[in-house]
Amino acid sequence: MLVLASSSPRRSLLLGQGGYVFETVQASVSEELEEGISPFIGVKLLAERKAKAGLTNWLELGGDKQDVIMGADTMVVLDSCILGKPGSALEAEEMLLRLSGRTHKVLTGVALISGSGKLVADVIETVVNFRLLGVDEIKAYIAGGEPMDKAGSYGIQGEAGKFVTSIEGSLTNVIGLPMEYLSEQLKTWGIEQTNITSREVDDGLSAFEGFAGGAFTP
């Protein structure tokens, strides 16, 4: 059994549309990181924390030790600086102005753990290019409320998709889970997708209504 240690609706949607049957469990952890830690190490550490907390909670609920718990964390990184979730509309505006016309990276750390003690953690990187953004369109986007719960103050699957000119790597990684990586990694844990067609996956991803970017390089 696969168990997602997250309350993120985006991650649940990605797994479901990817053909996985899974349960969810809460995994509240401190997201404080040591000052000066690299984003790559930090996002991996947070994913591991979430997976371990999820395992503890799952076993307390009576879950099987053979079940596989997944923890994940996503960071937006610009010039080696981590852009987290905005604390205010002003902070969201400042972040989007910094991203405007620039290239940044999205890192997603994924950790898989079981009660047997097996732990595997990796970090997947996607490069995202933004076009120049006008102040008025940034303010209008923020007024819609979409950026307030998202790292970097934007969601590529929503209205902010129109800000993106191209990406290099996994689109789903930017949304919250690198599904291409996971489909291969989960097989090594004995977890397979249900019988779905590639067209069904494509149709499912279309639920992420907004990606209007140009070139996509897998």
CATH code: domain of residue 16: 3.90.950.10
Q: Which residues pair with 3 in a beta bridge?
A: 23, 69
Q: Which of 214, 30, 44 is nearest to 125 (CA)?
A: 44
Q: Which residue range forms the structural domain that includes residue 192?
A: 2-217
Q: Which of 214, 40, 208, 38 is nearest to 129 (CA)?
A: 214
Residue of 64, 67, 73, 79 with catalytic role: 73
Per-residue pLDDT tens listing for the chain (218 residues): 999 999 889 999 999 999 999 999 999 898 888 888 999 999 999 999 999 999 999 999 999 999 999 999 999 999 999 999 999 999 999 999 999 999 999 999 999 999 988 999 999 999 999 999 999 999 999 999 999 989 999 999 999 999 999 999 999 999 999 999 999 999 999 999 885 544 444 444 544 444 444 444 43
User: Cα(199)–Cα(82) distance, rounded to whole angstroms?
Assistant: 35
Residue 117 tokens read as: 């003690």
Q: Is residue 202 among the annotated active site residues?
A: no
**How many structural domains compose the chain?**
1
